[in-house]
């Protein structure tokens, strides 16, 4: 298991390299220059533009820029933000906890609701619960999260006024004041994820429940709870874990939209504004951190996968 | 293999099936895969249950342990185990018997073992279910003991291994150890226990069954499609066809003088020792089992029987008649058949 973990971590290196290169190329392919965005409506002359361009290193050949950029970036140094007069890493670390709280809580809700609902649907196939689970998951997957976000906001924040509509407050101002501003975004994000998890859990559980070792577990006189949790779910988890990883990755993407809807100053919101302002260093750093999180999630999924599936571990 | 000393059919019954019926629903109404079957299994015997796949022998086994896969159901009859009707017990009472007093050895040890759990966990969980008073170390000790009994070497190491790390023969020994681990098994149902194994391993496993049967003084129901397996191990044989027993006889009598045309057909499919290579191909009985959703009014073997007589055989379902001591057959024409068969052989040569 340790060897397996080390090997998986080693496989990170090329992936990170490719990710960084892609980030560099894509941000530079985006039309528009940071200079015009930086200057805005101020009237400046060509000499000033030249000076800024030089200062940012934008006048040099792209390959040269890349070779200078890559070794620096690998150490986590994305330079100064063009807009926030602070290092990119600092800006990102400021925003990251918000995105993390949002996606992680959404994942918790998704797992806590989706897996039990999927198991029960599989056990009572064709029953009322299965029917509800099916309707709910179809609906959840069909509704776009941003629309759902607005609807939740309308009902719970505007009409019922149970929670604030948008914005963010750090936990220092009180736990409830922090949580109340996250409840709706978490809900909006998790509803669509729950649908996916319910479906996957249901179908893998149905498959696993038909396996001979499940029949054998019953033949041995084990209690039904043991049969389901120890024999069936354990095997189904191999596949469910993969979906959970996928859901988290999707959640990171979804958080970009949700953060904008609810005006949460997270990483997603940062990336969006950085893209609009052509704030290259911030944009690159933001995307890179998201990529890194996705990679770490991937690693965790792989390790969980191996933990649930001994045949992988020894391969 | 010593099978002397056990008088087949003598002694008290440990299991009595009385009119057991297992039904499955279908678009054309339900059909019986086990049709009002009655059978008595004597304490200490090895009873072979033989038939082609789909004859209902596996469903019979599942009915005995109370695990007919839904939507199928045991709808009628009584299953008396040590005098207690299992059909009337609550699900939890039946669960307590499974794996303890009645154990099953499955056909496919590979797919019947959970790939994600260690061998040791899969063995000891039987004790956890049936002997909750045992401690962890007691369970482990018992697992080692029973693994030794079924001839598994390096038992301590095996406990920590996963199913895919073991050979087919060892896996089947693990399944047998699992059946014995509670130490109270009275009835062992082995459902095609050697079908998935290669020939040499097959012989070893069968030998093990015979040895354990006398060691543990248990009763064994050995379900198989292979008469050769039965010849090596069983005391008595029940031949099943389309949900019914068609012939029931002590094993030697059955091989010496099969009475039912289906039994003869099965015997003819066995490769004969000494047969030349060109003749040693496996014969099969032509035709297929009738549609159980619409069972024929007469003999169920009618469409495949070489001796079928219209007007007699298809008129009514023959009854399972006593023929001689311990011999039963379900055929309208069993009295005439030895002569008919002899004539056929004479005509052919
Ligand atoms: S009853 Fe007739 S058809 Fe049936 S097995 Fe006997 S001879 Fe054949």
Report yes or no: B113 at the A interface, CB cutoff 8 Å.
yes
Q: Residue B181 pLDDT > 90, yes or no?
A: yes
Q: Quick one: CA dihedral B176, B179, B185, B187, positive or negative?
A: negative
A195 vs chain B: nearest CA distance in angstroms? 27
Examine the domain organization and report whether B247 and B132 are in the same domain: no
Which pLDDT does position A292 carry in this prediction? Answer: 85
Helix axes A175-209, A145-152, angle to 10 degrees: 130
Averaged pLDDT for residues B165-176: 91
Ligand 1: does its nearest atom lie under 6 Å from the Cβ of B304?
Answer: no
State whether B13 and B137 are in the same domain: no
Lowest mean pLDDT among B35-39, B157-161, B343-347: B343-347
Torsion sign (Cα): A32, A34, A36, A38: positive
Domain shared by B163 and B225, yes or no: no
Which residue in A has a C-alpha nearest to residue B94's C-alpha? A221
State the closest ligand 1 atom to the C-alpha of B305, by its place in the atom list counted from 1. Answer: 8
Question: Residue B8: its pLDDT value, please?
Answer: 44
Residue B99's closest CA among B198, B209, B9, B177? B177
The full set of domains in chain A, from first to last, is 2-74 (no CATH), 95-277 (1.10.3720.10)
Tell whether the torsion through CA atoms of B310, B316, B317 and B319 is positive or negative: negative
Number of domains in chain B: 2
User: Cβ of B96 under 8 Å from any chain A Cβ?
Assistant: yes
- pLDDT-derived band of residue A44, with 50, 70 and 90 as boundaries? low
Within 8 A of A208 by CB-CB distance, chain B residues are: none
Question: Is pTM, for the whole model, over 0.95?
Answer: no
DSSP B280-327: -SPP---S----TTS--SS-TTGGG-TT--TTTTTTSPPP-EEEETTE
Which residue in B99, B116, B164 is closest to A220 by CB distance? Answer: B99
* Domain at B38, CATH number: 3.40.50.300
Cβ within 8 Å, pair A221-B115: no
B266 and B137 belong to one structural domain: no
Q: What is the pLDDT of residue B340?
A: 63
From A219, A226, A235, residue closest to B116, measured CB to CB: A235
Question: Which range marks the domain in which residue B247 is found?
Answer: 1-101+186-271
Distance CA B243, CA B22 (A): 9
Distance B298 CA to ligand 1 centre (A): 9
Nearest to B112 among A216, A309, A311 (CB): A216
Ligand 1 pocket test: which of B51, B331, B341 has the largest number of ligand atoms within 8 Å of its C-beta? B331
- The answer to whether residues B272 and B280 touch, using CB atoms and an 8 Å cutoff, is yes
Q: What is the pLDDT of residue A70?
A: 83
pLDDT of residue B3: 45
What is the interface pTM, i.e. ipTM, of the complex?
A: 0.85
pLDDT in tens, A118-142: 999 998 888 888 888 888 888 888 8
Q: Does a structural domain hold residue B298?
A: no
Q: How far apart are CA A292 and CA A15, in angstroms?
A: 10
- Ligand 1 atom closest to B300 (CA): 4
φ, ψ (nearest 5 deg) of residue B18: -125, 105
Pocket of ligand 1 contains residue B307 by CB under 6 Å? yes
Same structural domain for residues B35 and B133? Answer: no
Domain boundary among B127, B153, B183: B183
Chain A residues touching B100 at Cβ < 8 A: 221
Within-domain flag for B307? no
Query: Predicted confidence band at B26 (pLDDT cuts at 50, 70, 90)?
Result: confident
pLDDT score of B349? 47
Q: What is the pLDDT of residue B2?
A: 40
Question: Ligand 1 mean position to A238 CA, how many Å?
Answer: 53
Mean pLDDT over residues B301-314, rounded?
86
Chain B, nearest residue to A237 by Cα: B116
User: B94 in a domain, yes or no?
Assistant: yes
Same domain flag for B13 and B60: yes
CB-based contact B113 A215, cutoff 8 Å:
no
CB B244 near ligand 1, within 6 Å: no
Angle between helices B136-149 and B119-130 (to 10 degrees): 110
B217: left (phi over 0), alpha (psi -120 to 50) or beta: left
Q: Give contacts of B 231-290 with A, CB under 8 A.
A: none
Q: How confident is the model at residue B235 (pLDDT cuts 50, 70, 90)?
A: very high
Cβ-based contacts of B99 with chain A (< 8 Å): 219-222
Contact B97 A221 (CB under 8 A): yes
Using the beta-carbon criterion (under 8 Å), do B67 and A219 form an inter-chain contact?
yes
Judging contacts by C-beta atoms under 8 Å, the chain A residues touching residue B162 are 310-311
- B303 occurs within a structural domain: no
Cα of B308 to ligand 1 centre, how many Å?
A: 5
pLDDT at B347: 54
Residue B121, in any domain of the structure: yes
Helix (H, G, I), strand (E, B) or coil at B244: strand
Domain boundary pick from B271, B287, B302: B271
Which of A230-239, A296-305, B139-148 shows the lowest mean pLDDT across its residues? A296-305
Is residue B325 situated within a structural domain? Answer: no
Q: Which residue of A has its CA nearest to B104?
A: A219
Number of alpha carbons in the 13 Å side-chain half-sphere of residue A100: 11
Smallest Cβ–Cβ distance between B112 and the set A212, A230, A314 belongs to A212
Cross-chain CB nearest to A221 (options B99, B106, B162): B99
Q: What is the pLDDT of residue B7?
A: 42
Q: Name the domain boundary from B271, B300, B332.
A: B271
Residues B207, B266 within the same domain: yes
**CB A308 within 8 Å of CB A241:** yes
| Nearest in space to B142 (alpha carbons), one of B111, B184, B170, B96 | B184
- Is B166 found in the same domain as B259? no
Confidence (pLDDT) at B9: 45
User: Does the beta-carbon distance from B129 to A212 stay under 8 Å?
Assistant: no
Among B58, B70, B66, which residue's Cα sits nearest to residue B30?
B70
B315 within a domain of the structure (yes/no): no
- Claim to verify: residue B123 and residue B170 sit in the same structural domain: yes
**DSSP secondary structure code for residue A163 in this structure:** S
Instruction: Establish whether residue B302 lines the binding site of ligand 1, counting it when its CB lies within 6 angstroms of any ligand atom.
Output: yes
Write down the pLDDT at residue B52: 85
Q: What is the pLDDT of residue A156?
A: 84
Q: What is the mean pLDDT of residues B181-193?
A: 91
The answer to whether B269 and B284 are in contact (CB under 8 A) is yes
Examine the domain organization and report whether B173 and B192 are in the same domain: no
Does the beta carbon of B129 lie under 8 angstroms from any beta carbon of chain A? yes
Is residue B159 domain-resident? yes
Please judge whether A218 and B108 are an interchain contact, meaning their C-beta atoms are less than 8 angstroms apart. Answer: no
A211 CB neighbours in chain B (<8 A) are 111
User: Cis link prior to B307 (omega < 30° from 0)?
Assistant: no
Q: Please write the tens of the pLDDT for every residue from B71-95.
A: 888 888 899 999 899 999 999 999 9
Residues of A with CB under 8 A from a CB of B: 211-213, 215-223, 226, 230-231, 234-235, 238, 308-311, 314
Statement to judge: residues B221 and B266 lie in one domain? yes
Chain A residues near residue B63 by CB distance under 8 angstroms:
none
| Claim to verify: residue B83 and residue B209 sit in the same structural domain | yes
Of B26-35, B90-99, B320-329, which one has max mean pLDDT? B90-99
């Amino acid at each position: 298991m340790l060897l397996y973990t080390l090997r998986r971590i080693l496989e990170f290196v090329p992936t990170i390299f490719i990710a960084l290169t892609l980030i560099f190329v894509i941000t530079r392919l985006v039309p528009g220059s940071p200079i015009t965005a930086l200057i805005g409506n101020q009237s400046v002359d060509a000499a000033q533009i030249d000076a800024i361009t030089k200062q940012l290193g934008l006048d040099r050949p792209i390959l040269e820029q890349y070779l200078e950029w890559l070794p620096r970036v690998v150490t986590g140094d994305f330079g100064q933000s063009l807009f926030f007069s602070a290092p990119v890493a600092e800006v990102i670390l400021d925003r990251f906890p918000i995105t993390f709280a949002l996606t992680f809580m959404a994942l918790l809700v998704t797992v806590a609701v989706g897996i039990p609902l999927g198991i029960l649907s599989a056990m009572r196939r064709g029953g009322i619960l299965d029917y509800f689970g099916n309707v709910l998951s179809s609906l959840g997957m069909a509704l776009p999260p941003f629309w759902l976000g607005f609807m939740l906001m309308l009902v719970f924040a505007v009409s019922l006024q149970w929670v604030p509509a948008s914005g963010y407050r750090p936990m220092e101002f009180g736990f409830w004041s922090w949580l109340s501003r996250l409840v709706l975004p978490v809900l909006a994000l998790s509803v669509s994820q729950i649908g996916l998890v319910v479906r996957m859990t249901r179908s893998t559980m149905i498959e696993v429940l038909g396996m001979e070792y499940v029949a054998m577990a019953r033949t041995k006189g084990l209690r039904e709870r043991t049969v389901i949790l120890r024999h069936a779910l354990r095997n189904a988890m191999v596949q469910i874990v993969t979906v959970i990883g996928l859901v988290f990755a999707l959640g990171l993407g979804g958080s970009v939209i949700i953060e904008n809807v609810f005006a949460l100053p997270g990483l997603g919101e940062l990336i969006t504004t950085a893209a609009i302002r052509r704030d290259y260093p911030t944009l690159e750093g933001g995307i890179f951190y998201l990529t890194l999180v996705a990679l770490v999630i991937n690693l965790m999924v792989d390790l969980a996968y191996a933990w649930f599936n001994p045949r992988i571990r020894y391969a | 293999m010593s099978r002397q000393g056990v008088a087949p059919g003598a002694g008290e019954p440990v299991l009595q099936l009385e009119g057991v019926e297992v039904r499955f629903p279908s678009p054309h109404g339900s059909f019986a895969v086990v049709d009002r079957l009655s059978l008595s299994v004597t304490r200490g015997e090895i009873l072979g249950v033989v038939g082609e796949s789909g004859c209902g022998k596996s469903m019979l086994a599942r009915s005995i342990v109370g695990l007919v896969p839904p939507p199928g159901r045991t709808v009628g009859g009584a299953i008396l185990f040590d005098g207690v009707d299992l059909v009337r017990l609550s699900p939890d009472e039946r669960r307590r018997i499974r794996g303890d007093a009645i154990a099953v050895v499955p056909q496919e040890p590979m797919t019947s073992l959970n790939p994600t759990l260690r061998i040791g966990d899969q063995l000891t969980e039987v004790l956890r279910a049936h002997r909750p008073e045992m401690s962890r170390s007691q369970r482990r000790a018992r697992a080692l003991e029973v693994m030794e009994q079924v001839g598994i070497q390096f038992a301590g190491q095996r406990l920590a291994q996963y199913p895919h790390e073991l050979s087919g023969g060892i896996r089947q020994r693990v399944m047998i150890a699992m059946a014995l681990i509670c130490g109270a098994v009275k009835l062992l149902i082995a459902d095609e226990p050697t079908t998935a194994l290669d020939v040499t391993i097959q012989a070893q496993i069968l030998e093990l069954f015979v040895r354990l049967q006398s060691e543990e003084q248990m009763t064994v129901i050995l379900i198989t499609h292979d008469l050769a397996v039965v010849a090596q191990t069983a005391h008595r044989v029940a031949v099943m066809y389309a949900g019914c027993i068609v012939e029931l006889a002590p094993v030697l009598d059955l091989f010496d003088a099969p009475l039912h045309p289906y039994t003869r057909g099965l015997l003819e499919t066995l490769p004969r020792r000494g047969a030349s290579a060109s003749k040693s191909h496996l014969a099969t009985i032509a035709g297929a089992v009738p549609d159980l959703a619409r069972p024929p009014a007469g003999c169920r073997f009618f469409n495949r029987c070489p001796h079928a007589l219209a007007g007699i055989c298809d008129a009514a379902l023959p009854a399972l008649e006593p023929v001689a001591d311990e011999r039963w057959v379900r055929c309208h024409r069993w009295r005439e058949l030895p002569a008919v068969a002899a004539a056929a052989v004479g005509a052919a040569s």
